[in-house]
Amino acid sequence: MTATSPTLLVTGASGHLGRRVMELLLEARKGPLIVTTREPSKLADLAARGVVVRKADFDDASTLDAAFAGAERLLLVSTDSLDVPGRRITQHRHAVEAARRVGVKHVVYTSLTRPEPDSPITLAKDHWATEQALAASGLGFTVLRNNVYMEMLLHSLPQAVAQGRLVTATGTGATAYVTREDCARAAVAALASSYEGQRVLEITGPSAVTQAELARFAGELSGRPVESVAVDTASLAAGLVAHGLPAPMAEAYASFDAAVAQGRMSGVSTAIADLTGHAPVDIRDFLSAHRAVFAAKGH
């Protein structure tokens, strides 16, 4: 670490991704470091390690100038405020405007694969609006369009093994799943880099797989056959609701399948390797490393 190291700020550091980003930054001795959170007490351990911890409420724009003050490069982790339509867009706009006011030079934002206005994904409009806010801000920015986390499969595939069937509405579409760890490493690299321009990067794993391929692989890992069952998105959402998921969440999950079916989630990029110098984890290697999860469900 040198005296000329830019001051880096990470929002949402209490969440899984933001927390991992901070651990990686501390390991690499990237500093000085600031984190913002709704509940600073949750990050007392980071404060004890020399990180400046500040309270920030994205619903209250008046709190953000002080929270962001002194930061040169800022990682805006998308918030989890999905309860009220449009709330997350307002939160993110507040953050972008505050970053511009206090003199942040570059914002790194965790977006979503191909969130264009015609995306069927219910969450896409929040990300698209945030990308547009960044484009209009005049700030330097790096948009990281993260594909679906491989970690999600550690819940859905063992259930499919237990039931003997993987029900999807993805058709023949494929998904370029990526690990949360690779997303965190990409975010660290983008935040700590000297890049000052404006760029949009698709953050993906090294290959795209269909649900039929995943069903076969889950069967191989568990030693039990898993059938891939195709349904439409409405039926998928209804089935999720029948299994206890709230309707808005069920619709959100089903909307991802609709995007996959349209071929929107299958693009593979080299962005992670370009940013970090290391290839992203392959999905087969990832699932094989978690073989025990499948075995536990298979008996």
Residue 190 in tokens = 């983008």
Q: Would residue 134 count as lying in a domain?
A: yes
CATH number of the domain at 187, please: 3.40.50.720
Q: Would residue 66 count as lying in a domain?
A: yes
CB 218 within 8 A of CB 295: no
Q: Would residue 45 count as lying in a domain?
A: yes
Domain that holds residue 62: 8-146+180-203+267-277
pLDDT on residue 51:
95
Residues 6+ apart with CB under 8 A from 277: none
Q: Would residue 258 count as lying in a domain?
A: no
pLDDT on residue 85:
76
Q: Would residue 273 count as lying in a domain?
A: yes
Q: Would residue 247 count as lying in a domain?
A: no
pLDDT on residue 296:
57
Q: What is the pLDDT along the chain (299 residues), one digit of tens a residue?
A: 445 789 999 998 888 999 999 999 999 986 799 999 989 999 999 999 999 999 999 999 999 999 999 999 999 999 887 667 778 899 999 999 999 999 999 999 999 999 999 999 999 999 999 999 999 999 999 999 999 999 999 999 999 999 999 999 999 999 999 999 999 999 999 999 999 999 999 999 999 999 999 999 999 999 999 999 999 999 999 998 998 888 888 888 899 999 999 999 999 999 999 999 999 999 999 999 999 988 754 44
Strand 209-210 versus strand 174-175 pairing type: antiparallel
Taking the C-alpha atoms of residue 9 and residue 33, their distance in angstroms, rounded to an integer, is 6
CB 183 within 8 A of CB 203: yes
Taking the C-alpha atoms of residue 264 and residue 257, their distance in angstroms, rounded to an integer, is 10
Q: Would residue 74 count as lying in a domain?
A: yes
pLDDT on residue 299:
44
Q: Would residue 259 count as lying in a domain?
A: no
Domain count for the chain, please give it: 1
